[in-house]
Structure 1
Amino acid sequence: MSSRTLVRTWDILPSRGYSTAWIALAEGRFTARGRAVGLIPEPYWVTYTLDTVDAYVTSRLHVTVESAASTRTLDLRNDAGRWTVDGEHRPDLDGALDCDLGLCPLTNTMPVLRHGLHREPGTEPHPFLMAWVAVPGLEVTATHQTYTHLARAEHGARIRYEAGDFRSDVEFDEDGLVLDYPELATVLTR
C-alpha cells in the first residue's frame, strides 16, 4: 500500500499559537504526529501521535502537554469500538469512531475522509459520537458532532461542523485537511 506524506501548519487563533502535523496518508488510513504551542490560558507545548485503521477509524491518540507547572499525558485507545482512557474503560465513549483533539484541525479529517465529504456534492448531515480531548487540560468527554457537505470549493469543499450550540463552516482541501476553520485555525503551509 503506497502512502503520501503531507505536512500542514495552522495558525491557532484561540490559543494564539501554532500547530504542525506530519501525516502519512494511505488508502483508508493514516498515521500522524504533531506539535503545537499555545499562549492561552498559559504558555504550553503539545505533542501527539495519532493512528487510524481501516476507514480512518481512530485506534490510538497519545498526547503530552507541557507547561511551566506540569507535564500531563493521555493515552486514548479504541479497540473495535471499546474505548480506554489511560487504560481505564470509558463506556460513555463506546461506539465512537473518532477522537477530536481540541485546537487540532487535523482531527476533523477522519469523518471527512471516511464519508468523502470533501468530494461529494450536497449530502445529508452525518452525526458522530466523538471522544473529545480538551487542550491543555486533556480531559476526555463524549460529544455529539455533525458534519454536512455544503458546497464544492476552489481547492476542496466547505463543510458545516456542529457541536452543541457551536457551528462553523470549515473549508477543507482536496486531501480532506482543514484550510480555514473560522475563529479556530487557518492553514499556513500546504
Structure 2
Amino acid sequence: MKTLIWQGIAFQSLEYFKLKEENGNHIANSRIIGRYHDSIYTIDYHITIDKDWNTLDFLIESEINTVKHTLKGKKIQDEWEINNSMNPDLKGFIYIDISLTPFTNTLPINNLKLPVNGSQEIKVIYIDVLNNVIKPVSQQYTRIAPDTYHYDNLQTDFKADILVDADGLVVSYPELFEKIAKLA
C-alpha cells in the first residue's frame, strides 16, 4: 500500500491518499479538504483501476458549503453509466480526470507507458467537482524525461510539466499540487 499527502496550491487543499492492490486491481481511496474562493469543501473518492491502469469505476462524494453531491461512474464494456444513466458522449473513454487531485494524471501516465519523447492524445471524462460538471475533454501527454510529462489540455491553453515518482504518482504539478509526505 502507498499512502501520501498532496498539498493543493491553487485550490488550498490537503489530500490524504491511499493506493493498494486488491484482487488484481488498483484501488485508490482519498479524502480532500480545502477552501477555494468562497467555498469550503471536502471530497472523498474511490476509484477501481485494472492492472493496466484503465478506470473501471469511481465514486465521488463531495460537500461544498454544506451542499452534498454524489457522482458514481461504472464502465460497462466500452460505455459509461454515470449516476445510473448511460452516457453515449463518453463511449470508448478509459480515463477520468478529477479536478481537485493530481492522482488522475497517474492513470494515463501508467497506462500509456510512453517512451521518452513519446506523445499521445487521449480523451478523458473530466470531472469539475467544485462546479458539479462532467464532460469529455481531449488531452495530450508527452514524456519529456524519464520522470517528467508535458501535459496539454487541448480545449484550453493550459499546459504543465508534471514530475512523477517511480510509481507514476505526481511529485510536483507546478502551481497546482505538491507531494508533501509519503509512506512506502
Where does the alignment leave 5 or more consecutive residues of structure 1 unmatched? none
Relative to structure 1, the CA distance from residue 91 to residue 148 in structure 2 (aligned partners, 3 Å threshold; closer, same or farther) is same
Judge which range, 161-170 or 135-144, deviates more. Answer: 135-144
Verify: 1:128 aligned to 2:137, yes or no.
Answer: no
> What is the 5 A alignment of 1:16-27?
16-25=12-21
Report the Cα offset of residue 28 of structure 1. Answer: 7.5
**In the alignment, which residue of structure 2 is the partner of 1:168?**
160
Report the Cα offset of residue 138 of structure 1. Answer: 3.0
Any conservation in 2 of the 1:28–1:55 contact (CA below 8 Å)? Answer: no
Tell me the percent identity: 23
Q: How far apart in 2 are the matches of 1:103 and 1:71?
A: 16
Report the Cα offset of residue 14 of structure 1. Answer: 1.6
Report the Cα offset of residue 8 of structure 1. Answer: 1.7
Report the Cα offset of residue 29 of structure 1. Answer: 4.0
Relative to structure 1, the CA distance from residue 29 to residue 176 in structure 2 (aligned partners, 3 Å threshold; closer, same or farther) is farther
Give the number of aligned pairs: 179
Choose which of 169, 176, 180 in structure 2 pairs with 1:188.
180
Q: How far apart in 2 are the matches of 1:84 and 1:101?
A: 17
Verify: 1:40 aligned to 2:36, yes or no.
Answer: yes
RMSD across aligned positions (CA): 1.7
**In the alignment, which residue of structure 2 is the partner of 1:86?**
83
Any conservation in 2 of the 1:6–1:25 contact (CA below 8 Å)? Answer: no
Report the Cα offset of residue 78 of structure 1. Answer: 1.4
Q: How far apart in 2 are the matches of 1:126 and 1:103?
A: 23
Relative to structure 1, the CA distance from residue 21 to residue 37 in structure 2 (aligned partners, 3 Å threshold; closer, same or farther) is same
The residue type paired with residue 117 of structure 2 is G
Report the TM-score, using the length of structure 1 for normalisation.
Answer: 0.88
**In the alignment, which residue of structure 1 is the partner of 2:148?**
158
